[in-house]
A and B are shown apart, each in its own frame.
Chain A
Amino acid sequence: MIKQFIRLEWKQFFRASYFQKGIAIKILLVLAALYFGGAALMLGVGLFFIAKKAFPDIDPIVTVNNFIIYWFLFEMVFRFFMQQLPVMNVKPLMTIPIKRNTVIHYLLGKTSISFFNFLAIFLFLPFCVVLLVKGYAIVNVLCWFLSIVFLTLSVNYLNFLINKNNTIFYIIAISLFALIGLEYYGIFAISQPIGIAFNTLYNQPYLMILPLLLVVGLYYANFVYIRKGFYLDDAVSKKIKEVNATDLSWMDRFGNVAPFLKNDVKLIWRNARPKQVMMMSFMFLFYGLIFYTQDAYKDMPAFLAFASMFVTGGFLMSFGQLVPSWDSEYYKLLMSQNIPYRQYLESKWYLMVFAVSISFVLSIPYLYFGWKIFGMIAAGAIFNVGLNSFITLFGGALNRVPIELNVKAKAFSNTNGFNPTQMLIAMPKILLPIILFYIPYKLISFEAGLIAIALSGVLGIVFKNQIFKFIEKTYQKGKYKTIAAFAEKS
């Protein structure tokens, strides 16, 4: 049976329509995996000597044990954001004679060969080899290593539960924050007893049974959880939420583009993916803090110009780069309805301008860093409205990846809506403000640089009509291809 499942997955992977398009991303991912794996391997070999050097008086294994909790913490956070949950198309399996348990065991078993589990092995296996070479007791080292593997698997299954169940997520998150807080303010150092625990684990090999029990327990918890949900009602058919319709008729004053604007607001508000993008773009507001607070960047205003553009441009770039894709689910409707392309594009433009304006108002606290910084943000905002928005819309014309609106993106897993073309299009967005600023800044003055950035934006607004005509033509040209690509559900 398991063999059949593996065959199915293999086919799913290679026959997916996005496979070939996504090959560049796959290569990138493999490279990233190799990089992290290699780094972990190197670190694993060096760990013994690093620990020895840092604390010459303490046995390296004790040092490692004292700090190992931070590794697991890191792993947990890393996994929470990066690891894709095991998904299997269960619906067709429900009616054929396979035991429910087999499917669940397979699903859970599959997660144990995830890259994230190997990361720990890459790190600790060489470390253990070094320990053995240095003459540590075989039984202790071996059992300790196995314990680490079991704990890694525990994190694996715990992450699964956290992701599926909000209550568990909040319990874990709150207790983690509490413990880290207590430790940070020196009230209670949880890492000490944990360090002692790991050392005991090393010294008493038979205690290996405890992590083993933990994995088994968590595995079982997952098993029960999935089994309970293994019915069409819960897992496959979606929960229906009652709609809270808000009156958006005040937006009618925007004239022709009003129907689209209203729709876009609903699009963002009612779908998981765009909502996520909006939250993310809110984070961009704080992007400036990274740059403005560091002295290193004080002498590199060109970099600050780039950062300032990001402060107000978060939504514009993260939402805008996927412009036709947001409407991919009903693109045929838009193309056969009484809609000129121009209006459709213009409404997206207004939305971006609106977002930039809001971000700009919210960025007023940056005045704290002085007028120069704020001037940069203002210039960046004008650039965003007048030029960046058009570049982004133009880039959208080349983007033909459908998006599932109500499915949240997980980093790395849901790569739909991301492709190398996007990266190419992103280059001018990033480089342009730097160049626009740097040349007049070097030749004339800081203020000249600001004016150059702002002026480019003003020019864009002045030539709005011509630019729109050009973008419209590009969209029109790609129309059939876009429709065909969007019709292919990934």
Chain B
Amino acid sequence: MITTSNLSKKYNEATVLHIENLDIPKGQSFGLVGNNGAGKTTYFSLLLDLIQPTTGHIKNNDVLVHESEDWKPFTSSFIDESFLIGYLTAEEYFYFIGELRGQNKADVDALVSQFSDFFHGEILNQKKYLRDLSKGNQKKAGIVAALIGNPEVIILDEPFANLDPTTQIRLKSIIKDLAEKQGVTVLISSHDLLHVTDVCERIVVLEKGEIVKDLATSTETLKELEAHFAGSELV
């Protein structure tokens, strides 16, 4: 589904990301972990053509991301709050995204209604603009909006951060369900090793812009990751 070759991003000689080769097959739930500045958000930004690669390219379903816009109809994402339109209510925002993705109001309503327990009664019918919601609630709205319109690729940056424990657990089951039952390719990044190992079939560790580990998740993965990060901390 997503192939990355010889990709690098430099800011004034400083290389922030360098990935020789990375293939993410369709329907995989893919986790990206790494310390601050490891290049997680840079990779996602490149994937969404928000920044320009210095070398190499990413192909999303055989579409060259930085040359064509054809990847947009089947890709959706939530990176940070700048993906929200602050002066809309959550409903209006969902409908807006729905309209962009060719869904009518009823479609959007049907999808959103599945997440009523995820929202915990704090998102819908609040008569509040998104900019007035708390950070956690903003995130919930953004994540659900990324699920509108049956995307084949979903990219979520730090989806667990800022969420309360109940919602974190619910989000995990949502993400698992997407990849397992619906064949959606889900890419997430996280600092929370436990959550990532719970959710993702495959975990890639980035360090200073390079891939240092590429693991198929098993029972030992969490331990291995913990050992890795504890070690790199000591050095």
- The chain A residues found within 8 Å of chain B, CB to CB, are 238, 240, 242-243, 245, 258-259, 262-263, 266-267, 270-271, 329-333, 335-340, 405-406, 480, 483-484, 487
Task: Tell me whether A243 and B86 are in contact (CB under 8 A).
Answer: no
Interface CB pairs A-B, < 8 A, 25: A242-B128, A245-B92, A245-B127, A258-B99, A259-B96, A262-B96, A263-B85, A263-B88, A263-B96, A266-B88, A270-B87, A270-B129, A271-B87, A333-B83, A335-B48, A336-B72, A337-B76, A338-B72, A338-B73, A338-B100, A339-B72, A405-B86, A406-B86, A406-B131, A487-B82
Q: Could you say which of B80, B99, B102 has the most chain A C-beta atoms within 10 Å of its C-beta?
A: B99
How far apart are the CA atoms of A243 and B89 in the complex, in Å? 8
Kindly state the separation between the CA atoms of A31 and B226 in the bound complex, as whole angstroms. Answer: 61
> In the complex, how many residues of chain B place their beta carbon closer than 8 angstroms to a beta carbon of chain A?
35
For A269, give the chain B residue with the smallest CB separation: B87
A330 to B83, Cβ gap below 8 A?
yes
Nearest CB to that of A333 among chain B residues? B83
Shortest Cβ distance from A369 into chain B, in angstroms? 40
B92, A266: Cβ atoms under 8 Å?
A: yes
What distance in Å separates the Cβ of A12 from its nearest Cβ neighbour in chain B? 23
Of the candidates A238, A270, A480, the one whose C-beta lies within 8 Å of that of B52 is: A480
Instruction: Give the contacting residue for A329; candidates B72, B82, B99; CB below 8 A.
Output: B82
A346 vs B123: C-alpha distance when bound (angstroms): 32
A259 near B100 (CB under 8 angstroms)?
yes
Known A-B contacts A242-B127, A266-B88, A270-B87; the reply to A336 vs B77 at CB < 8 A is yes
Query: Within 8 Å CB of B73, what residues of A?
Result: 338
Chain B: minimal CB distance from A459 (Å): 30
Residue of A242, A332, A340, A405 touching B83 (CB-CB under 8 A): A332
A contacts with B: majority SS:
helix
Q: Which residues of B contact A335 (CB under 8 A)?
A: 48-50
Question: Does B23 touch A at the CB level, under 8 Å?
Answer: no
> Across the interface, which residues of B come within 8 angstroms of A330, CB to CB?
82-86
Within the complex, the shortest CB–CB distance from A402 to chain B, in Å, comes to: 10
Q: Which residue from A259, A405, A484 sits with its C-beta under 8 Å from B99?
A: A259
Selected from B48, B51, B86, B128, the residue in CB contact (under 8 A) with A240 is B128
Q: What chain A residues lie within 8 Å of B149 (beta carbons)?
A: 338
Question: Which B68-118 residues have C-beta < 8 A from chain A?
Answer: 69, 72-73, 75-77, 79-80, 82-89, 91-92, 96-97, 99-102
**In the complex the two chains form, what is the Cα distance from A329 to B127 in whole Å?**
21
**Contact A336 B48, CB 8 Å, known A259-B96, A266-B92, A406-B131:** yes
Q: Identify 20 new A-B residue pairs, CB closer than 8 A, beyond the known A245-B127, A339-B100.
A: A238-B132, A243-B89, A243-B127, A243-B128, A258-B99, A259-B99, A263-B85, A266-B87, A270-B129, A329-B86, A332-B79, A332-B83, A336-B48, A336-B72, A337-B97, A338-B73, A338-B100, A338-B149, A340-B69, A480-B52
- Chain B residues lying within 8 Å of A271, measured Cβ to Cβ, are 87
Which of A262, A337, A340, A480 gathers most chain B CB within 10 Å?
Answer: A337
Most buried by A among B76, B97, B129: B129
**9 shortest interchain CB distances as A-B pairs:** A259-B99, A270-B87, A333-B83, A336-B48, A240-B132, A243-B127, A338-B72, A332-B82, A242-B127
**Chain B residues whose C-beta falls within 8 Å of the C-beta of A338 in the assembled complex:** 72-73, 100-102, 149
A367 to chain B, nearest CB (A): 39
Give the CA-CA distance A344 to B128 in the complex, in Å.
Answer: 26
A333 touches B84 (CB 8 A): yes
Q: Which of B1-55 contact A (CB under 8 A)?
A: 48-52
B residues less than 8 Å from A240 (CB atoms):
128, 132
B124 to chain A, nearest CB (A): 13
**Contact among B49, B85, B87, B128 for A333, CB-based, below 8 A:** B85
A336 and B50 within 8 A (CB): yes
Minimum CB distance partner of A327 in chain B: B85
**With A and B bound together, what is the CA distance between A487 and B83 in angstroms?**
11
Task: Given the known inter-chain contacts A245-B92, A406-B87, A484-B51, please indicate yes or no for A331 contacting B82, CB distance below 8 A.
Answer: yes
Given the known interface contacts A240-B132, A259-B99, A270-B129, the answer about A480 and B51 at a Cβ–Cβ threshold of 8 Å is yes
